[in-house]
Chain A
Amino acid sequence: MTITDIPERYRVSSTRRETEDTWTLELEPVATREVGFAPGQFTMLYAFGAGEVPISVSGDPGRHGTLVHTVRAVGATTRAVCAAAEGQELGVRGPFGRGWPVADAEGQDLVVVAGGVGLAPLRSVLYTALADRERYGRLVLLYGGRTPDQLLFRDELVEWSGRDDIEVSLIVDAADEDWHGRVGVVPALVERAGLAGGAVAMVCGPEVMMRYAVEALLDAGLAPDRVHLSMERNMKCAVGHCGHCQWGPSFVCRDGPVYSWSEAERWFGIREL
């Protein structure tokens, strides 16, 4: 066995309920081990007795010593992870995978396009860009969700919206009259963002949303190799051995989860089994 086969013990140091079914957990290693990750990477979270799931890291790469994950409770394992209380232990393998090409975006406008819980793996990108703000041109966040209550990280969205070094546009599928923001779909935000062709875009959300968001980004003049998206396809082993997440010629866990559109376009229409 290799080190990547063996879960490390982590202790839940804090939990925060983001929405009705989504929690953010901060984890600290029980044993002394260097904790580091690149934006866009994921770990395998193991709820003992329930199972293991791939979850993107949603924390600040500049903050060492903890791993932060934002998890939506949609099945037995993710429900067990979300139910973990402070002090409880979880197993962690990883981090794994190829993350967002944040360094490639330096000197360019950086556009983050997220839908639903897809903001979680992109929050690390925003932290990174905001920490070195002068390295980038425009920093644009376009984020959509089902309803206002189901937008993640609402405190940070409010904070970022008040800053003048990041442009934040929010949109929801449905709302009541108390919502003063936009109602519609994420691609409409892309069309209105006034993006320059040299911008670099990072996209994460449901595949249907990504399909139309990428189309809008390409229509705005971005080159296919400057549009990146994070795929989520049935990852099990996380090291490219089991084959469950094979996608065209690649394994999403090992070669992704982040792909450029020029890499992903040919395989994007392949349906998950």
Chain B
Amino acid sequence: MDNTRNALSIITYPLERLVNLPPELNQTLADSLLTYQNVVDENTRLKEQQFKTQTKLLKLAALEKENIRLQALLGNSFTLGEQLLSAEVLSINLAPYEHTIALNKGSRFSIHKNQPVLNINGVVGQVTRSTPMRSEVLLISDPSHAIPVQINRNGLYTIAVGSGQLNQLNLPYLPNNSDIQPGDLLITSGLGGTFPQGYPVATVKTITSQPDKPFAIITATPKAQLDRIRELLVVWSDSTPIPLLNPSKTPTPQSNEPD
């Protein structure tokens, strides 16, 4: 069945490219018609940003190594570094009632089902299908999507369910007396195995307790602004557990450089 789909997608691919052409062209024009001053300004800004992030990364590498050492001391397994591939959103619409998007890279880049997709702000969704030229991604805001999360402040586990609105997630499984506040950051908990642990998902927006019901009504706003995403990162998480501390063979974390 998947082979049929792959074969037919060769016919539909040119049509998708044609529909995607105007925004692509617009982008190319905007890129090529920049003034010199604009380019200089942007370059200065980017250099500064690069400098800052590079400095932060230096610290991160040290922290990561320390964390792995400590985790190994405790006898826990730890997720090694992830590999990332950047992809762009095709400006095509898949289904009116669902929050799905299409990416311009597919199984030719060995993207496969159930891979997490992020952007620079947070988790966006997961790959539901990949054909040679493109892949389909289900957003975290789709009503049929649920993502296991953890409150960053105190480590409380719960599940964030899509609401059908792009700017809202629901947390339907927390009791009225649970320790949660507006503004709390929700990160992926790593349970379930699809999403690697520790990526930001959403911030808690409103909490309405229902005294007559077991669970409170809690809503959260996704960190990634799902209505204005263009560049995305597809993640290969290599979750090989690290063995107990062995002084002769200290594990080295793989570098997580984007391609």
Q: Do A and B bind each other?
A: no
Residues in A lying within 8 Å of B, measured CB to CB: none
